[in-house]
Structure 1
Amino acid sequence: MEDSLLAEPLLWLIGASEIGLWVFLGAGLAARYVLRRPRLGGVLLLGVPLMDVVLVTVSTADLASGGEPSRVHGLAALYLGLTVAFGHSLVRWADARFAHRFAGGPRPVKPPRGGPARMRHEWREYRKVVLAWVLTAVVLALFTVAGGLGFPAPGAWPADPLWSWLGTATVVAVIWLVAGPLWATVFPGDDDREPTGVR
């Protein structure tokens, strides 16, 4: 029987990566806008992708050295896919708000509520979902090869400890597709706000 997820050192590393992401992001933006040291801020922001490199390296090394593939490894792959696909948008979102608050930048604009702008926004966001799914699959393939494992058929994903998260990601991607871009395309609605500020 598998150990509790909380007993997995890799799970703690995933948690540390998430905490580290926000610490590096906050510290980098604070250095850039509060301390007025953009070079230091840029160096600190490099810690955001560095956390992903550490996580994928440790996960791959664990499987390559004979570690038992588990749902935690699959979660690490999903986490990496999500942070790479959405990381740039997250940094840009936080940067716009720090710039507005501390450097007199323009007020951040909220996502469009309707019309063609909302439809374009939803499809743009969904491309990140697809990218996250693809990156998750690539990382899982890397883990599979590193661990000398066999590739499961898509129908076997729910029962496979390593690939089960890709099945979950597929379900989420389908729901997002229907509730997001398809809904905005069929029922675009209206948005009467002025397009001011930055995203």
Structure 2
Amino acid sequence: MLIAIVACEIGFWVVLAAGLLARYGFRRRRLGGALLLAVPLVDLVLLVLTAVDLRSGAEPDVTHGLAALYLGFSVAFGHDLVRWADVRVAHRFAGGPAPQGPPPSGTVARAQKEWRDFGLAVVGTALAAAVLAGLALATAPGVDDGPLLGLLPKLGVVLVIWLLGWPVWESVRTWNARQPEQVSGR
């Protein structure tokens, strides 16, 4: 299963690079767009391979759980990742505008970005949890699905850490940075 995850990760980047190469290197925008739209198919391949492995009697382990996490977060953050790469390649090879970095820390824009990213993390976690539950159902009869379902509480812990470490932290920094403005404005 680990080989399938690594192969799909490599496949993700190969399809992404092929789409960008077709779009900007060969000036075939439609072909490039089609290849970029095919990037999620790599995730589907991983899901099918994982389900087949479990259905054939494999004991669920952390690699099956990693496949679910990869799928959930790839779907949630995949569009942003493709857009991130597209902007940079367009700038470098097609005269596109320079990519913008993240907003500065302590600003409203940065806090909004962190809350948006956290929302995507919630979506990715929900998808990963649904895939984990589906994979638990797909295990062969009599096989312990505990290793898959045991990852669910860990996903919650990761979300809480993400919540406190990024959107809440940035919101507090933004609020603290704005306090002197509000005091001096009175």
Query: Which range, TM-score by smaller chain?
Result: 0.7 to 0.9
Asked if the contact 1:21/1:47 (under 8 Å) is kept, the reply is no
Q: What residue number does 2:158 align with? A: 172
Q: What residue number does 1:97 align with? A: 88
Q: What residue number does 2:131 align with? A: 139
Asked if the contact 1:17/1:51 (under 8 Å) is kept, the reply is yes
TM-score, reference length from structure 1: 0.80
The offset of 1:167, in angstroms, is: 3.3
Asked if the contact 2:56/2:140 (under 8 Å) is kept, the reply is no
Could you list the runs of 5+ residues in structure 1 that have no partner in the other structure?
Answer: 1-9, 191-199
Query: What letter matches 2:131 in structure 1?
Result: V
Asked if the contact 1:78/1:165 (under 8 Å) is kept, the reply is no
Q: What residue number does 1:112 align with? A: 103
Asked if the contact 2:22/2:31 (under 8 Å) is kept, the reply is yes
CA distance in 1, matches of 2:73, 2:137: 21
Q: What residue number does 2:38 align with? A: 47
The offset of 1:66, in angstroms, is: 2.4
**Which of 150, 157, 170 is the matching residue for 1:184?**
170
Query: What letter matches 2:155 in structure 1?
Result: A
1:85 aligns with 2:76: yes
More helix by share: 2
Query: What letter matches 2:154 in structure 1?
Result: T
Asked if the contact 1:27/1:44 (under 8 Å) is kept, the reply is yes
> For 1:91-129, what per-residue CA distance to the aligned partner results, in whole angstroms no more than 9, with x for missing partners?
000011111111111111111113211111110011111
> Residues 124-135 of structure 1: matches in 2 within 5 Å?
124-135=116-127
The offset of 1:149, in angstroms, is: 6.8
Partner-residue secondary structure (3-state), 1:100: helix
CA distance in 1, matches of 2:152, 2:3: 21
Query: What letter matches 2:24 in structure 1?
Result: Y
Query: What letter matches 2:77 in structure 1?
Result: F
Could you list the runs of 5+ residues in structure 2 that have no partner in the other structure?
Answer: 178-186
Coordinate RMSD, CA, aligned:
2.2
TM-score, reference length from structure 2: 0.86
CA distance in 2, matches of 1:165, 1:20: 25
The offset of 1:148, in angstroms, is: 5.7
CA distance in 2, matches of 1:86, 1:166: 20
